């Protein structure tokens, strides 16, 4: 029996079958989580459907108050939640706290965003307006790198817009969202937010379920395509936030010693398990050697270990599958004879899924480490000497999530930004995100948008109403 329960219709629901959750810092089982049965999925969908009419009938400000109360509940339990998140995800405790507080911030911010009514025509003859109505029951499916924050990127707008929900976290990191489900019982009306967990079979059952109106998915591009194919059967709406292979372009006028640290964290925060981590770093040849030295020197000062321990800045890779994928790319680099500026040697006898920070010295553009999304702490540092060439290389990817340009000359950086085929471009920073700022992947990095007004409207369906004065004789 699991020690955690799902939340369906505001009640604790356990399951005879369970999935085992591993602490990635030790490789040791941490807890059992329920493996939701098909009947329980039906119950969760029915609960969300039943709760929908009353929830949508509430005023915006009433729903906003509920979101704020939920935010306060997360914030007042941040210590417990952060410890749990670190134990299942691996990230340092401070970052786990930051993630939980981020989820609270998203909830309270969404409470105040106004969904506009568009006036199309307002004449003596007719008034025409377009309203944005909730869709119904939304399923959120989230990944293991930010199990809490990325779930609330879906929960906050979906509920704000008047939908009810089923949320399914990753089987690798189900515990913190299950605990949050428990904490929010009695805060969010029964059935409005149902949290279910399960193994690999559950996701496809959710996307195929006829009682669900929309799927909002964050995960890999390969899975995103399966989600879209499954949703096509009954034309469910989809929002897909998928993989990325973000390029950073570093111009020769930067202050190398200052940006080295920022560039390091751009690539390696959360042990590089961020969809918008810098995954290819293009450095102008004039400063390549100096930057390579500075970033490698800095890398050697950063401590990797169990995120629950003080002073640890980088945790393990989150799961064995991902660990093996990164090791495979590392082995390919070795087989091709690439040089490592730092790292490159995995201590196989060490418990947990640790891969040292590895920086590869100018590998060929078509090598796997440049072309694939490793989603782990291995970064190719690449040389360029011509802006047209580097823009072409940055854009030569099926992905188009985000990118960054680093320069003292804002105009030069903006000119490059305008040529990048990505949904976000940062200049002299990365990963600045906000509930008020659109986040969308170009090309195979996604479909639709999260955050900002556009992201909120993805949880609505437009309805145009025209009123013509009644004719009288």
Q: How far is the CB of 227 from ligand NAD (least distance, A)?
A: 5
Min dist. Cβ of residue 90 to ligand NAD (A): 14
CA 51 to CA 7: how far, in whole Å? 14
β-strand partners of 241: 218, 446
**Subset of residues 157 to 186 that bind ligand NAD, contact rule: CB under 6 A:** 168, 170-171
If one counts every other C-beta atom within 10 angstroms of the C-beta of residue 117, the result is 10
Number of residues that bind ligand NAD (CB under 6 A): 28
Position closest to ligand NAD via CB: 203
Task: Provide the minimum distance between the beta carbon of 373 and ligand NAD in the complex, in angstroms, as a whole number.
Answer: 6
Applying CB under 6 A, does 141 fall inside the site for ligand NAD?
yes
Least spacing, CB of residue 214 vs ligand NAD, in Å: 14
Catalytic positions, written as ranges: 241
Decide if residue 220 touches ligand NAD (CB under 6 A).
yes
When the beta carbons of 225 and 334 are compared against ligand NAD, the nearer one is: 225
The binder of ligand NAD chosen from 226, 383, 419, 442 (CB under 6 A):
226
Q: 244, 343, 356, 455: which one contacts ligand NAD (CB under 6 A)?
A: 244
Q: Which of residues 186-215 bind ligand NAD (CB under 6 A)?
A: 203-204, 207
Dihedral-angle region of residue 9 (phi above 0 means left; psi in -120 to 50 means alpha; beta otherwise): left
Binds ligand NAD by CB under 6 A, chosen from 87, 108, 176, 223: 223
Segment interacting with ligand NAD, rule: CB under 6 A, options 53-61, 156-164, 216-224, 406-414: 216-224
User: Applying CB under 6 A, does 424 fall inside the site for ligand NAD?
Assistant: no
Dihedral of alpha carbons 195, 201, 206, 207, sign: positive
Structure-token match 């939980």, residue found: 100
Cα gap 199→185, rounded to integer Å:
24
Rg of the chain (C-alpha set): 23
Residue 241 lies near ligand NAD (rule: CB under 6 A): yes
Q: Which residues pair with 382 in a beta bridge?
A: 282
CA dihedral 45, 46, 50, 51 (to 10 degrees): -30
Contact status: 143 vs ligand NAD (CB under 6 A): yes
Query: End-to-end alpha-carbon separation of the chain, Å?
Result: 74
**With binding defined as CB under 6 A, does residue 145 bind ligand NAD?**
yes
DSSP annotation of 189: P
Which residue, 242 or 292, has its beta carbon nearer to ligand NAD? 242
- CB burial of 33-45 (b: ≥16 within 10 Å; e: otherwise) equals bbbbbeebbebbb
Return the residues of window 267-286 that contact ligand NAD according to CB under 6 A: 275
Task: List all residues 6 or more positions away from 175 whose beta carbon is below 8 Å from its beta carbon.
Answer: 4, 21, 30, 31, 33, 84, 87, 88
C-alpha distances out from residue 328 to 53, 196, 304, 350, 368, Å = 50, 33, 20, 18, 10
Tell me which H or E stretch contains 66. helix 60-76
Indicate whether 443 belongs to the interface with ligand NAD (CB under 6 A).
no
As measured in angstroms, the least distance from the Cβ of 364 to ligand NAD is 23
Closest CB to ligand NAD among residues 185, 442:
442
Binding site for ligand NAD (CB under 6 A): 141-145, 150, 168, 170-171, 203-204, 207, 218-220, 223, 226-227, 241-244, 275, 373, 375, 401, 441, 446
């Amino acid at each position: 029996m699991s020690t955690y329960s799902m939340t369906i219709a505001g009640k604790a629901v356990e399951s005879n079958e369970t999935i085992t959750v591993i602490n990635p810092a030790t490789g040791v089982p941490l807890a059992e989580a329920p493996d939701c049965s098909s009947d329980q999925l039906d119950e969760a969908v029915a609960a969300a459907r039943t709760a929908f009419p009353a929830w949508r009938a509430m005023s915006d400000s009433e729903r906003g108050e509920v979101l704020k109360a939920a935010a306060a509940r997360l914030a007042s339990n941040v210590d417990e939640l952060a410890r749990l998140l670190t134990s299942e995800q691996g990230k340092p405790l401070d970052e786990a706290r930051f993630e939980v507080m981020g989820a609270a911030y998203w909830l309270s911010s969404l409470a105040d965003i106004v969904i506009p009514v568009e006036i199309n025509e307002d004449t003596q003859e007719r008034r025409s307006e377009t309203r944005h109505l909730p869709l119904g029951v939304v399923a959120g499916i989230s990944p293991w790198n930010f199990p809490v924050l990325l779930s609330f990127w879906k929960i906050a707008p979906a509920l704000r817009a008047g939908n009810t929900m089923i949320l399914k976290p990753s089987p690798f990191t189900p515990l913190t969202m299950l605990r949050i489900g428990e904490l929010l019982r009695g805060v969010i009306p029964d059935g409005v937010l149902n949290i279910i967990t399960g193994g690999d079979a559950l996701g496809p059952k959710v996307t195929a379920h006829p009682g669900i109106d929309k799927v909002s998915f964050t995960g890999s591009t390969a899975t995103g395509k399966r989600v879209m194919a499954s949703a096509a059967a009954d034309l469910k709406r989809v929002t897909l936030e998928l993989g990325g292979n973000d390029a950073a372009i570093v111009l020769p006028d930067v202050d190398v010693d200052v940006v080295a640290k920022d560039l390091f964290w751009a690539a390696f925060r959360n042990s590089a398990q961020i969809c918008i981590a810098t995954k290819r770093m293009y450095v102008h040849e004039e400063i390549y050697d100096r930057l390579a030295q500075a970033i490698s020197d800095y890398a050697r000062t950063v401590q990797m270990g169990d995120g629950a321990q003080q002073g640890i800045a980088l945790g393990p890779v989150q799961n064995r599958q991902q660990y093996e994928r990164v090791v495979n790319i590392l082995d390919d680099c070795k087989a091709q004879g690439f040089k490592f500026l730092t790292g490159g040697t995995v201590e196989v006898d060490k418990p947990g899924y640790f891969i040292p920070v590895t920086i590869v010295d100018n590998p060929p553009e078509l090598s796997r480490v440049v072309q694939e999304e490793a989603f782990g702490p291995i970064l190719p540092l690449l040389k360029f000497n011509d802006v047209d060439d580097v823009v072409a290389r940055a854009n030569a990817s099926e992905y188009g999530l985000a990118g960054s340009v680093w320069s003292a000359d804002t105009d030069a950086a903006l000119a490059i930004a305008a040529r990048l085929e990505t949904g976000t471009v940062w200049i002299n920073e990365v990963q600045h995100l906000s509930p008020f700022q659109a986040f969308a992947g170009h090309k195979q990095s996604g479909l639709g948008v999260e955050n900002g007004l556009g992201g909120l409207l993805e949880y609505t369906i437009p309805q145009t109403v025209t009123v013509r004065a009644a004719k009288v004789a």
